[in-house]
Structure 1
Amino acid sequence: MMHIPTEASERHVLTIMVDNEAGILAKIAGLFTARGYNIDSLTVADITDGHDVSRITIVTHGPPEIIDQIRAQLERLVPVHKVTDLTEVGPYVERELALVKVSGKGENRVEALRLADVFRAKVVDTTTSSFIFELTGAPDKINSFVTLMKELGLVEVGRTGIVGMVRGASVA
């Protein structure tokens, strides 16, 4: 049974520091699957010189008590070092990278370039009939850009998923 967000459901951004070993991602995803909760965004990257620790960022929705249960179970997994719910810690920054391919000629091409400038999207590839834009920002910004590009010849979108970090000098 899949969870369908209700009014009590809240968006949470979790960061999880784990040993960089085979199978840990499956274990973590399994905790969400077992409860029927969806992972809206998932990113994983090695973050140490020795390639021994990875940072996983998961965006999900659920009632606070379920998120607390998931967090507690994540903390009990042996290769997990630390679980942080950025949503509860305080002010944080979240960003996502997208590549957006737009095909068009004439006025649509000019308008796509104009909008890319407004959104501070960078042209990373171009042909006489298409562009690939690179855009970094909050998910809402990327969603808005993609929506506008649909009218101008959107061909394809690739998104990295969200990464987040607590503001200030401390480590969360």
Structure 2
Amino acid sequence: MKSHYSDAPKAQPILRHTLSVLVDNEPGVLARVVGLFSGRGYNIESLTVSETEHEQHVSRITIVTAGTDQVIEQIRHQLERLVPVHRVTDLTVQGESIERELALVKVAGKGEARVEALRLASAFGARTLDATVTSFVFELTGSSEEIERFLRLMGEVGLVEVSRTGIAAMARGAETI
């Protein structure tokens, strides 16, 4: 006998999406955008915001979140309904995009650990911003995956503290999205 459950729709995968939201640069806009996420139980994995068009007072909010295609579409439509929002673009489905993150990484150590920290920093292309007899502060810009690899390796050498900016993203090509 055939089961009716085999005809049930398959569960959609939960995927990571990067959203670019152009908004008016005015007080309370970020709180409204974040409130939309928290009020509906959506998580924000990364959030960056900065004014990008000074004369027009427009800011870009880059949000990394995860959800099914249906949830991401719902988030996008709800963001578009907010009054100060000009445009919402899902960079993940729009095509290839460039994503970068900046990390400041403090590493402490002496002797061989110190030499290894410098060697790893050089291999990853990290800049040394501060150096003392017992510690370094490195600056690394790259993909989130590259930064994660760097942090794992520095964890074995003497990782003390990390500060990360979150993801900044932009679509490839000449068009403005």
TM-score range, shorter chain: over 0.9
Cα deviations by residue, 1:102-147 (Å, 9 ceiling, x for unpaired): 0001100000000001100000111111000000000000000001
Cα deviations by residue, 1:9-63 (Å, 9 ceiling, x for unpaired): 1100000000001111111111111221110000000112337111000000011
Aligned partner (choices 129, 148, 169) of residue 164 of structure 1: 169
Contact preservation (8 Å) 2:12, 2:69: no
Partner Cα separation in structure 2 for residue 63 and residue 22 of structure 1: 31
Partner Cα separation in structure 2 for residue 52 and residue 90 of structure 1: 27
Structure 1 runs, 4 residues or longer, greater than 2 Å off:
none
Aligned partner (choices 89, 103, 110) of residue 115 of structure 2: 110
Q: How does 1:20-39 map to 2 (within 5 A)?
A: 20-39=25-44
Tell me if 1:97 matches 2:127: no
Structure 1 gaps, min length 5: 1-5
The structure with the largest alpha-carbon Rg is 2
Q: How does 1:57-68 map to 2 (within 5 A)?
A: 57-68=62-73
The match for 1:138 is: 143
SS at match of 2:53: coil
Number of residue equivalences: 167
**Displacement, 1:7?**
6.5
RMSD: 1.2
TM-score normalised by L of structure 1: 0.94
Identity of aligned residues (%): 60
**Displacement, 1:171?**
1.1
Deviates more, 1:116-125 or 1:48-57: 48-57
With over 3 angstroms needed to count, the CA separation of the structure-2 counterparts of 1:7 and 1:134, relative to structure 1, is farther
